[in-house]
Amino acid sequence: MTISQNPSAPLVVVIGSTGSQGGSTIRELALSDRPYRIRGLTRDTNKPAAQALIRQGVEMVAVSTVPEEKESLFSAFQGATYVFAMTQSASKVGKDTEVAEGKMYVDAAKSAKVELLIWSGLVDMNELSGSKYPNVYHMDSKAEVTKYAEEVGVPLVNVMAGLFMTNFSGYLAAPKKQGDGSFVLSLPVPPDSTVPLLDTSHDYGLFVRKAIESAQGASQIEAYGEVISYRDMMEQLSEVTGKKVKFAQISEEQFLKDLMAVGRPRYIAQEYLEMHLAIHDHGYFGHEDVRSRPDGLTRLPHTWREFATATDWSEILN
């Protein structure tokens, strides 16, 4: 694992360098036979994850993502050949904040005259659904930034991350224990509804590396390890863990009640509801899911079964 210090090597600036997408990007570029200098951006260069990257040869720079304090960000982009950019989710910071942050990254990339901006975007579910699902903010906000980048003319590849596999090993979206000791994943869509899944921290960087090294001319790359139905996901999880796990379709009203019962505000619950319905109706990437494995990568990404096998489920399925 080598990161170049040669000033003639291309400089890759990575936003969110200590997170799952940015961290995966750095690891994959460090494995390349091509030399890259890497500049990681973070809010706090003193935290352990940032210090670990410094020891690996990454230049870590503290920046603010507040538009009113954009000077540090614009400065950090200077000299970059490539920039990987992602935003905080609108579900956490609000749509206006996410859009403003994303547009600031685009402006900084244009100012720095980068050769390529690799952007972690998603599709516009409000537009796709004809405004049937207007509240999937964390997807629509990213799509708005994508459109802005295209309008201002920044060289762009949109590397859209599939649904995170880790969503289903976390407390809120994991299968819930039933009175008989079994576990059920309950969603407001049919069992045969399919989704493209991604083991983000393990595999997202593969697709960023593809965008830089072998996807010339591509404007969009769909990042996923496997397309799978919810029924098959739970059957495989049951086989891997030895626990009785299954999927159940529930009503929209029950889905909202369940999320609000664990502390989610009504507007967040509504967003997640519309997300699931929109994905079922229009596909996660805006088209019918194709059940082929991704190609053009330096290795195959994890399948759901591989992720489930490598994950410790002892606290979730207990």
- Which position has the higher pLDDT, 292 or 57? 57
What pLDDT score does 76 carry? 96
What pLDDT score does 245 carry? 98
Q: H or E segment at 197?
A: strand 194-198
Strand 183-187 relative to strand 176-177: parallel, antiparallel, unpaired? antiparallel
Q: Give percent above pLDDT 90 in the chain.
A: 87
User: Has residue 182 got a pLDDT over 90?
Assistant: yes
Q: What pLDDT digit, counting tens, does each position of 91-125 carry?
A: 677 889 999 999 999 999 999 999 999 999 999 99
| pLDDT band at 37; cut points 50, 70, 90 | very high
| pLDDT band at 232; cut points 50, 70, 90 | very high
What pLDDT score does 92 carry? 76
**3-state secondary structure (DSSP) of residue 218:** coil
What pLDDT score does 138 carry? 94
What would the mean pLDDT of 260-275 be, rounded to a whole number? 94
| pLDDT band at 90; cut points 50, 70, 90 | low
| Alpha-carbon torsion, ordered 212, 218, 223, 228, to 10 deg | -150
What pLDDT score does 1 carry? 55
What pLDDT score does 243 carry? 96
The length of the chain, given as a count of residues: 318
Quote the Cα angle for 31-35-38, to 5°.
80
What pLDDT score does 172 carry? 74
| Alpha-carbon torsion, ordered 1, 25, 225, 173, to 10 deg | 120
The token pair at 36 is 């890259």
Q: Taking a C-beta distance cutoff of 8 angstroms, is the pair 58, 39 a contact?
A: yes
User: Has residue 291 got a pLDDT over 70?
Assistant: no
What's the number of CA atoms in the CB half-sphere (13 Å) around residue 248? 15
Tell me the residue type at 273. L
Mean pLDDT, the chain, whole residue set: 94
Q: What pLDDT digit, counting tens, does each position of 160-171 carry?
A: 999 999 999 987
What pLDDT score does 69 carry? 82
What would the mean pLDDT of 282-295 be, rounded to a whole number? 83
Q: H or E segment at 111?
A: helix 95-112
What would the mean pLDDT of 177-192 be, rounded to a whole number? 97
The token pair at 45 is 């260069």
What would the mean pLDDT of 196-213 be, rounded to a whole number? 97
What pLDDT score does 91 carry? 66
What would the mean pLDDT of 285-298 be, rounded to a whole number? 83
